Amino acid sequence: MIAYNNKWLNNLLIRKEADKAYQSACISKEEKEQVYTAYPSGLYTPNLFVRLGLFILTIIIALFTLGLFFLFFISAREEQVGGMIFFFGLILYAALEFMVNKNHYNSGVDDALLLTCPIGIICGLNILSTISWLANAIFIFILALYLFLRFTNRIMAAVTGLAFIAIVFLSFIKLGETAKALAPFAVMITAAFIFLFVQRLIKKEKSKQYRDGLLMVSITALVCFYAAGNYYVVRETSIALFNLNLQEGESMPVAWLFWIFTVTIPILYIVRGIQKKDVVFLRIGLLLIAAMVFTVRYYYHVMPIESAAVIAGILFIVLAYALIKYLEEPRHGFTYKKEDDAFFMDKVQIESLLIAQAFTGTATPTDSGTQFGGGTGGGGGATGDY
């Protein structure tokens, strides 16, 4: 199912482990080079700046090509334009398969084509006919899931999770007014289910090529779980989609419950991250603290925003400095020292990587028959040769 050479992908994982060991001074440069020699990979992955340049160039080429298409259909009807954009999306997908066959892997070219081809297909479908929000969510889910399974792309993984939550939400609110009131809880349950399901998948050896993407799905689920319980999100969504009539300053029904969710969920994420040494929970919890502060600040003005920002900035600087000094030496499983893994590899655990095989050659003994002789006896006062 994966479009890339599976052996080369496995070798890339081993190379990353070798890079990590080298940066930690566990192996020498020569040993790292031996690992690279023993585990070759023909996939083309340039550095960040080249990748960014190729990404922008591919987007420009795609837009100019689409403009050329429009020149041929300048007087076309709306249905013909929709068909043209849909067809253009299919061409972009064919170009994606072609570039992957040329061993492009996270090169910038395949990244750009992975983003543009589903946009073209979905936009073309919507122009061709009137499609409901639910139908759009289903189409996006199917397309994003296929692209994730085919190309192990993290963005497509996150879109898959978001689309599935959207399908549940849009299906649930069709059940009536009571369902609309309970929709936030349905989204929270769905997000929790996705997170638990993905955590089980991450631990499986067969899913090691998808672990970065599955981690993105986990992050998406955690953020959606909080968003579904955030007072601001629930209140404004209810006003926009469900025509909830509220006067300025008036609270929504069971507002106290959503205020509890707004304040406690980020704190619970941080506590969970500290208890389990889970960097994903810890970082998301810290980011959602900002969302919590924004929500409280939006409805309750304690002081001018300039004063609040200055005071908060001073407090965070003091707190950050105190933590840095405290964690200069590792304490309770935490340290200020820079980690070797990038953010998306924090939770990735590659099992059974025998890097040592590349360090030393494996000698194969040859059987030349039973051989004796040449020994000497030297114990218990014995002397002489035997």
Q: Is pLDDT larger for residue 325 or for residue 273?
A: 273
Sign of the dihedral through C-alpha 340, 204, 108, 280: negative
Locus of tokens 């040329």:
102
At 339, the pLDDT band (50, 70, 90 cuts) reads low
Q: Is pLDDT larger for residue 385 or for residue 13?
A: 13
- Kindly tell me if the per-residue pLDDT of 347 is higher than 70: no
DSSP SS3 for 24: coil
Q: What is the pLDDT of residue 373?
A: 47
Alpha-carbon distance of 221 to 227, in angstroms, equals 10
What mean pLDDT do residues 73-101 have?
85
25-45 per-position pLDDT tens digit: 788 888 888 888 888 888 888
Which tokens go with 328? 């200069």
Alpha-carbon distance of 299 to 251, in angstroms, equals 10
Determine the Cα angle at 269 with ends 298 and 212, to 5°. 110
Rounded to 5 degrees, what are φ and ψ at 376? -130, 150
Which tokens go with 236? 């404004």
Residue 173 neighbours by CB under 8 Å, 6+ apart:
179, 180, 183, 241, 242
Which tokens go with 31? 């040993």
Q: What is the pLDDT of residue 249?
A: 66
Q: Identify the weakest region by mean pLDDT among 119-123, 156-160, 206-210.
A: 206-210
241-266 per-position pLDDT tens digit: 887 777 666 778 888 999 999 999 99
- Kindly tell me if the per-residue pLDDT of 98 is higher than 80: yes
Which tokens go with 163? 């689309």
State the amino acid at position 22 in one-letter form: Y
263-320 per-position pLDDT tens digit: 999 999 988 888 888 888 988 988 898 888 888 888 877 667 677 677 777 877 887 7
The HSE-up count of residue 141 (CA atoms within 13 Å, CB side) is: 14
Alpha-carbon distance of 351 to 313, in angstroms, equals 42
Alpha-carbon distance of 148 to 145, in angstroms, equals 5
What's 41-109 look like in SS3?
CCCECCCHHHHHHHHHHHHHHHHHHHHHHHHHCCCCCHHHHHHHHHHHHHHHHHHHHHHHHCCECCCCH
Alpha-carbon distance of 90 to 118, in angstroms, equals 9
Q: What is the pLDDT of residue 131?
A: 87
- Kindly tell me if the per-residue pLDDT of 52 is higher than 90: yes
- Kindly tell me if the per-residue pLDDT of 164 is higher than 70: yes
pTM summary value: 0.79
Please state, for a pLDDT cut of 90, what percent of the chain lies above it: 38
Alpha-carbon distance of 230 to 247, in angstroms, equals 19
Q: Which long-range contacts (CB under 8 A, 24 or more apart) does 202-207 make?
A: 202/347, 205/351, 205/352
DSSP SS3 for 347: coil
Alpha-carbon distance of 361 to 141, in angstroms, equals 48
Q: What is the pLDDT of residue 309?
A: 72
211-234 per-position pLDDT tens digit: 889 999 999 999 999 999 999 999
Q: Are 158 and 344 in contact (CB under 8 A)?
A: no
Sign of the dihedral through C-alpha 304, 309, 312, 315: negative
Alpha-carbon distance of 345 to 23, in angstroms, equals 15
In the chain, count of helices (H) and strands (E)?
14, 0
- Kindly tell me if the per-residue pLDDT of 362 is higher than 50: no
As a whole number, the mean pLDDT across the chain is 81
